[in-house]
Structure 1
Amino acid sequence: MWRQLLPDFERDGATLQSQLRSAIVAAILDARIASGSRLPSSRNLAVMLKVARNTVVLTLEQLVCDGYLEARPRSGYYVRQGSPAQPEPVQSEHAARSTRVAWGKRLAATPQRDKWLEKPADWQRYPYPFVYGQFDPKMFPVAEWRECSRLALSVGEIHNWASDAIEHDDDALVDQLIRRVLPRRGIAAHPSEILITLGTQHALYMLAELLIKPGTGVAIEEPGYMDARNICARRQARIVPVPMDADGALASGHLKDVSYLYCTPSHHCPSGATLSTERRIALLQEAARNDVVIIEDDYDAEIQYNGQPSPALKAIDRHDQVVYIGSVSKVISPGLRVGYMVGNPELISAARKLRRLMIRHPPSNNQRALALFIAQGHYDSLLRRTTSILSERAELLSDALTRHLSDFEFRRPSGGASIWAKVPDGIDPLRLRREAMDAGVLIESGEPFFSGSAHEHFIRLGYASIAPEKIEAGIIALAQVVKKCRPARSNHSIRLLRPSEYGAVAMAS
């Protein structure tokens, strides 16, 4: 019985002590061990589980302290009488009846109709995952993050972050953003101008709630980040598409009848184009003339392979017309969910009050752990390491595309973590994505990035989550799928986009 209750442990997961505790507690709470039952001796458990006896003894003693077990002298350990057990679910007499509520008609919003990027939940089991923004465990700084988390849980640090913090954010994290992170983007900020968020999307949602009314004009890049468009559409904004070319957004002439512009100038989502310095200056001037507020999403800004990243729009803003949003989640881990908003103190104060209604405040322990991570230099080190790794993968992917899919039009990336490629005429990207998935290759269709359906002949290939040794094999597998999807075989040659024609060929709207 005990052998079945306590299965083999994972040697590369949680600690053996933690796994043993979880197994015993689960057996007690699930009533698979009755109150008063005697456990095997610590020696027998250690032999049965093939672990050190000290591991077993420490676990059992902790369970005694927590009230699950009791120790009887010269007798052993027993399940404590009255130890909590999981209650049986109460079966209502009405449980079998069908609902009388028409929930579909009651929904005031229908987000399921929005355009989304579909990623399988089990994407890691696919041999060739060319997906963007997902977690690569090989790149995660396990030891450094564990140490900073441990430090954040010290008694002194807990006193600093454990209180309810609805009116302020973690002072240490705000300080590190001001001193270490924002200066990289050329931004000088005061604590009153910073709000911690659960990633950039949380910041976008709050800005939409605060600023956009039905009919408000909002300019958004086309193609562009679909969830920025979805959030604005939820507020019934009047969305004005802004076309793109190789030098970024062609905003001139598109800001005369809008109140806001959402843009990703450092690395455009999804193409990776960088807004040129001349256009940055012209954009700020035109926004000032038309009283337009710019929401700058600094997407993938710090992952730059060649030279230094261009300064953020916020860094050269002279009229307080830019609201800047950023995140550390893309560099460290998407599951961390820590971002920040930099803007006018009056706006930040209003956003803080709105945040209180939504989530009260982001988890303070994560904020403190991140502050320690930055302060000890781990964030800078991770940025350098990540940039080096992604630069290598970008070259491997570009070379593989050139060799095996030579009529796909793309530009070698200068930063970021993805390649935006135009699919040859006659190939349906949606079908290509489905067929590729069946072959073990995950790619992203470009369709959700467009507001309409006329320019869907693009795919996005992320390379942060695929091992370098699998990149070429994955493209070879994708090339086999492409052959199946071609309407007819045609001669083709290498077609890399030149900057002068990038917009006309790949981004024209």
Structure 2
Amino acid sequence: MTSRHRTKDVQWESLFALQDKPAMPLQQRLRLAAVEAILEGRLPPGATLPSSRELAKALGLSRNTVTSAYMRLIDDGFLEAHPRSGVFVKVHGDQRPSGLSKADWRAKPLPEPVRTPQNQPEREAPAMTQPTSPDWSARLIRSLSDRRTLAKPDQWRQYPYPFVYGTFDPQLFPTEAFRECCVHSLARVHLPQWTPDFELSDVPELIEQIRLRLLPKRGVFALPEEILITVGAQHAYYMLGEALFDAQSRVGLEEPGHPHARNSFASRQPQWQPLAVDDQGLVVDRLTPLDYVYVTPSHQSPTTRTLSLERRKRLLALAEQRDFVVIEDDYEAENLYVGEPMPALKSLDKVGRVIYVGSISKSLSPSLRLGYIVAPRALIAELRVLRHAMVRHPSAFLQHAFAHFLSLGHHEPHARRVNQALQARMQAVGEALRRELPDFQFELPTGGASVWVRAPDWADTAELALMAREQGVLIEAGEVFFMHPPYPCPFFRLRLSSIGVDQIGPGIRALAVAVYDLAQARGVPRVLARLH
């Protein structure tokens, strides 16, 4: 490394010195340092910032942390990104000195960092000591703040093309039906059914609807004492990790895989084993010695591949032979457009080696946060005690209202409407990708709500995602799905659950503009000639 580069790194390290606030996530501390530098004038309007990779290297942070901080600062109006140029401190109005062009203003050198004078006599200490805060870095036992996860900008609703997860589609929400069920639960005659403290229990009506209406469709038949209601699927992951994992547990996760499951399991710091996936889902015959295998067999997250029946049977046989347990996340099992549904792993399990995780609110709105676990009664009994210590129990009102929603038969027609809408969106995104980005590889799935796309090898989709935001497009960069992401990481996911079919074509066209900008920044002439 040259002396100039070392000096520059020292400058950035001095300018962005992170405050000693261990309880605050690193991304937030970096944003705080940048905002202070801007407000104090040490980073004047128009000043050029280093790339996310350069700053990450200078500060010893992950590039994802720096990229996320930049995105938030752009949303908050402190920074602005310009394709092929970089990231700058935002200029509000004409803040340039007279006679200085915008290009020259942006090109001005970084101001010298403030240096503490050497050999300066120390000031006399005050007579009374100041109160000190607790040393949180010494007290904090575990932290998840630096882990990569799916995240949207705070102002994501203002973007016209949100190809992202976990958003609400008002066109598909069964407003009248769900309102009717909520009003039903609020009727005076029904208040005794959900207002008492349920302690370790769940609303019996919801348990019955799950075991008699939902699970049989997946070939699963369970007793009431084998079902536990959770505050969504992520709550299920966390409880399973808390109850079953420790630092010696060998846990296999699909690679790429579901980042929310990985992060929820991470609190007990198990020994991770990345498991390969291909066009048939999890590659079963390459399993290393394991204690647990987490798998998304219906639609693998994020590649959308379906685990074949042959591999399902082989996985269960290996679980018995090698004495490991399978955690099955029946992810998007209801969203199937073509062919017959594959039987759940739990339906093929004859000896109780499969823990089944399902969601009952995701098809309506992820914010409702209702899921469930199906497992042997001995494990469910322990999880009930653990849940009680964490949240006591999920909202009994929502449980009761959702049970009524299921009992009246609203769920089935709603699921059909969602699938019809998603199928139309799948067709639209496939046509748009082939037209606007012919070098990008993808295969439309037979179900689910997303498309896994591979860009050309020269493209890093974390950088593409940043440029796409300038065009009003939100995509999910692929690196978050990997335990060990490559660089450049050419994969990304397009989520279709909350973008109208009419927005998809223009959204992919805007994404193609961002690809052009990235190709120009990278100097890829063949791409420029074709996309121009």
Q: Which amino acid aligns with 2:280?
A: D
1:481 and 2:514 correspond: yes
Which of residues 331, 337, 343 is equivalent to 1:305?
Answer: 337
Which of residues 407, 410, 432 is equivalent to 2:439?
Answer: 407
- Could you tell me which residue of structure 2 aligns to residue 37 of structure 1? none
Q: Is the 8 A contact 1:182 1:188 kept in 2?
A: yes
Question: Measured at CA, do residues 183 and 492 of structure 1 come closer, stay the same or move farther in structure 2, by a change above 3 Å?
Answer: farther
Deviations 1:200-256 (A, max 9, x none): 11011111111111121011100001122223332121111110000000022314x
- Could you tell me which residue of structure 2 aligns to residue 454 of structure 1? 486
The number of residues matched between the two structures is 397
Which of residues 226, 243, 247 is equivalent to 1:193?
Answer: 226
Which of residues 136, 141, 145 is equivalent to 1:103?
Answer: 136
- Could you tell me which residue of structure 1 aligns to residue 324 of structure 2? 292
Question: Measured at CA, do residues 493 and 153 of structure 1 come closer, stay the same or move farther in structure 2, by a change above 3 Å?
Answer: farther
Matches within 5 A, 1:4-403: 100-255=133-288, 257-403=289-435
In 2, Cα distance between equivalents of 1:139 and 1:400: 23
Q: CA deviation at 1:124?
A: 1.6
1:431 and 2:467 correspond: no
Q: Which amino acid aligns with 1:468?
A: V
Q: Is the 8 A contact 1:329 1:337 kept in 2?
A: yes
In 1, Cα distance between equivalents of 2:427 and 2:276: 28
- Could you tell me which residue of structure 2 aligns to residue 31 of structure 1? none
Q: CA deviation at 1:443?
A: 0.4
Q: Is the 8 A contact 1:194 1:340 kept in 2?
A: yes
1:490 and 2:526 correspond: yes
Q: What stretches of structure 1 move > 4 A for 4+ residues in a row?
A: 491-494
In 2, Cα distance between equivalents of 1:340 and 1:232: 17
- Could you tell me which residue of structure 2 aligns to residue 89 of structure 1? none
- Could you tell me which residue of structure 2 aligns to residue 4 of structure 1? none
Q: Is the 8 A contact 1:406 1:493 kept in 2?
A: no
In 1, Cα distance between equivalents of 2:265 and 2:235: 13
In 1, Cα distance between equivalents of 2:261 and 2:310: 25
In 1, Cα distance between equivalents of 2:283 and 2:528: 31
Q: CA deviation at 1:492?
A: 11
In 2, Cα distance between equivalents of 1:323 and 1:176: 19
Q: Is the 8 A contact 1:418 1:460 kept in 2?
A: yes
Q: Is the 8 A contact 1:407 1:493 kept in 2?
A: no
Q: Is the 8 A contact 2:282 2:307 kept in 1?
A: yes
Q: SS at 2:364's partner residue?
A: coil
Question: Measured at CA, do residues 376 and 107 of structure 1 come closer, stay the same or move farther in structure 2, by a change above 3 Å?
Answer: same
Deviations 1:110-160 (A, max 9, x none): 211111112113212101111123111111110000000000111121111
In 2, Cα distance between equivalents of 1:167 and 1:467: 41
Q: TM-score, normalised by structure 1?
A: 0.76
Q: SS at 1:452's partner residue?
A: coil
Q: Which amino acid aligns with 1:457?
A: P
Q: CA RMSD in A?
A: 1.6
Q: SS at 1:294's partner residue?
A: strand
Q: SS at 1:218's partner residue?
A: strand
In 2, Cα distance between equivalents of 1:307 and 1:158: 43
Q: CA deviation at 1:375?
A: 0.5
Deviations 1:354-398 (A, max 9, x none): 000000000100000000000001111110110000000011001
Q: SS at 1:287's partner residue?
A: helix
Q: Which amino acid aligns with 1:140?
A: F
Q: TM-score, normalised by structure 2?
A: 0.73
Question: Measured at CA, do residues 493 and 149 of structure 1 come closer, stay the same or move farther in structure 2, by a change above 3 Å?
Answer: farther
Q: Is the 8 A contact 2:299 2:305 kept in 1?
A: yes
Q: SS at 1:490's partner residue?
A: helix
Q: Which amino acid aligns with 1:382?
A: H
Q: SS at 1:240's partner residue?
A: strand
Deviations 1:385-440 (A, max 9, x none): 10000000011001100110111111112111111101111112111000101110
Deviations 1:146-177 (A, max 9, x none): 00000011112111111111221111000000
